[in-house]
Chain A
Amino acid sequence: MNVNAESYDAIPAASRKRRWGPRMWPYLFALPFVLTYAAFQLYPILYSFVLSLHDWNGIGAKTYIGFKNYVQLWTNDPLFIKSLWNTLLMMLMFIPLTLILGLTLAYWTFQLTRGKRFFQTINVLPYITTPVAIGFIFSYMFDWQTGLVNLLLTKFGILEEGFYWLQDPWGSRAIIALMVIWRNLGYFMIIFMAGMTVIPQDVYEAAKVDGSTGLHTFIRITMPLLRNITVFLVVTSMIGGLQLFDEPKLLYGGWSGSAQVGGPDNTALTMIWKFVDESFISNTRFGYASAIAYSLFLLIVLFSVISYRLTAPKEDKR
């Protein structure tokens, strides 16, 4: 009886331990991450939503004002609407171009038998250059009075007087788009090349046997097989594009205190720049800026879903 009782007690304890053990460990191991995530990501995300319902300058008392910030933002803030429009315009300028150029460059580099590594390295260099340096380079290049571009254009007699690139509504947007393309091209190229490496050679051989060559192979074989890569690039550059900030900000006086917010007549004002301006530069409206951040978040979700739907293969669309 005693023995029986002992073994009776022992068995469930052991199995309890076995059941409890493997279950607890994963949670325990995940805990540091979950905690830091909660403290540094989840909490700020939720807190900024709470902030967006308040009027607060960061120091004084918070006043709860419900959704007034959002109403003001979407119905009575022409600059916000303009910043949204600017951001979309610039995305429209750089996303398709970067995709096309990146794919072409990747295809060309991929075919190279010599100097492949060299070209890869050269093309990725802009991607690892710090944005501050890029801002400097481009603002020097396109300076009205002393810029290299104007110097060349006037020297070769194409222009009589230098063109005021940075103060032209379309010039400013085009230069920002150019900066983004220049910076991201290498990255796009690398990703496309990675995709090309994965395509099995026998597919190409089969196509060759069937008499497909050059452009035909590229359009019919390479491009469809790179579809997933393209979806990835489109969706991520949509997200990145909506968060556009470094390039315009650095182009317009990253070096000085008297920086021009938003470029000429706010044609280069992006949504993040508007957000920064509301919270730290022109104003100190943390609540209102949080409302911008949340609106931007919703827009990014919306655009990501749309771009995914548009580009993903049919069977993956759900």
Chain B
Amino acid sequence: MNNRKLGKWVGGFTSLALLAGLLAACGGNGKEATPSASSPAAGGNASPSASAPADPTQLSGTVKVWDWDEAFQNGMIAEFNKKYPNIKVEVTVVNPNDYLQKLQSGIASGSDVPDVILGESAYRGKLFDLDVLDNLESAPYNFDKSTVLDYVVPYVSNSEGKVIAVDQTLTPAGFAFRRDLAKEYWGTDDPAELESLLSSWDDFIAKGKELKEKSGGKVLMFPGLGDAYIALRGQNFVSYVNGSDVDLTTKLQAPLQKLFEMRDAGILGKNELWTPAWSASMAKGEFMFYPMAPWGAKWHISANDPEGSGRWGLVKAPEGGFTRGGTAIGIYKDSKVKEAAWAFIEFAYLSDEGSAYNFQTFGNMTSSKSFYETQQALIDAPGPYDEFFGGQNLAKYFIEKIVPDMQGESQSKYDSVVDGVFNALYPLWTKDASITADAALEKFKTEFKNKASDATVK
């Protein structure tokens, strides 16, 4: 009984403390809002056609950004402030796994909402569907979508075809591969030679069997079904959602059939994506390939194989490129500092100077066409992770060998449901080899229907 009373008191005091905190937070926002509110007027003088005003020092305000990559923001904001000294950019570090939830709670309760919103690929479609991002093609942004690579446009457009974001970095993906293993079992670690050895998925499976045989089963092609699926599904750029009609058969039948063919050939490991065992496998040399986009060199391969400098390489996937991950950057439609927020986005992700810094420091590749026309020297220069990949020029390879294959894929709120269903099911397919591709597709449809009851599934 006493305990309960104590609990109530504690609860009461906690609530009071929270209330106080909330009020304090509101007060803080109020103060910040004063200078920012004046900024549209300040920016209003600028010419509307250009994406940034003529005199950057005239723009002022406080732009709030939620990002998970603090290092990026710290570096980029310093660069940005050299040109725009009067715009203050405030970063709140938010875990991508909680991002959408925090954003929704913030908007629903009318409390803290960032001006610059990031949409990671895992929830990008859902974010676009919430209708919280401003149309960037309209004023005051007047973004011209023909200035970015054509294939990127669907990734930053909502279902009505409006461009509501820019791409943080291009995310064309190929396979990171172990040079040491390729040399040992296939006699070459030259990406160009591997490309011709693995020009189709059938070649890939044949080579996988050979690898398994030669290594006595010690080395396989992929760590698990999840990795293979990323490539197979990613290569199928076809749009599968039309309103609430969801055509899973068109989207998944072929990828699943190929996936099960690989599983049955015994060339896939039994690891689940992102598990400790999966991460550890990179350093161990149990698997030849890991799907990798440009961000993967830093976050993925070198992070999990810190001693592995020089033993990795990059090769394109059989039958073409695919996208992996990728983050869309948009502006909250009720932001009070739209112009300042756009100035930051424009500088950091589209401008030649911001993109050059971004590329040299973080290896991020802008979607802006002009960068590739004017900054060829930068692309040709060694990047931060080229050494790790045996001296291969990663950016050049991505741009020249993989990007030309890329096609756009429209984003949908059902994307995250499809991903969720896949994540729930593939461990079972790994475990139970008697499940066929057709049975798996049917199961996929049922599960999808359970999670998206408003959709009509084909």
Contacts and interface: CB of A to CB of B under 8 A. Distances in A.
Given A167-B427, A259-B423, A58 B8 contact: no
A40 B15 contact: yes
Contacts, number: 114
B192 interface: no
B416 A282 contact: yes
A68 to B, nearest CB: 12
A131 to B, nearest CB: 16
A205 interface: no
Interface residues of B, number: 47
A280 B101 contact: yes
Contacts of A166: 427
Contact of B419 (A33, A59, A258, A283): A258
Interface string B406-439: 0000000000110110011101101100000000
Contact of A164 (B126, B131, B132, B431): B431
Contacts of A104: none
Contacts of A78: 450
B218 to A, nearest CB: 14
B107 A60 contact: no
Contact of B104 (A145, A167, A284): A284
B424 A260 contact: yes
Nearest to B226: A258
Contacts of A143: 275-277
Interface in B125-157: 126, 130-132
B441 interface: no
A145 B96 CA distance: 27
Nearest to A282: B451
A58 B12 contact: no
A255 B274 contact: yes
Contact count band on A: 35 or more
Contacts of A59: 104, 107-108, 130-132
Interface in B9-25: 9, 12, 15-16, 18-19
A79 B450 CA distance: 7
B303 to A, nearest CB: 13
Nearest to B105: A58
A283 B427 contact: no
B271 A72 contact: no
B451 A283 contact: yes
Contact of B130 (A261, A266, A284): A284
Interface of B: 8-9, 12, 15-16, 18-19, 96-97, 100-101, 104-105, 107-108, 120, 122, 126, 130-132, 226, 270-277, 280, 416-417, 419-420, 423-425, 427-428, 430-431, 447, 450-453
20 contacts: A37-B15, A39-B15, A40-B15, A57-B130, A58-B130, A59-B104, A60-B131, A79-B451, A140-B276, A144-B277, A145-B277, A146-B277, A256-B274, A256-B275, A257-B120, A257-B122, A262-B424, A263-B424, A265-B428, A284-B104
Q: Which 4 A-B pairs have the closest CB atoms?
A: A256-B274, A36-B15, A145-B277, A58-B108
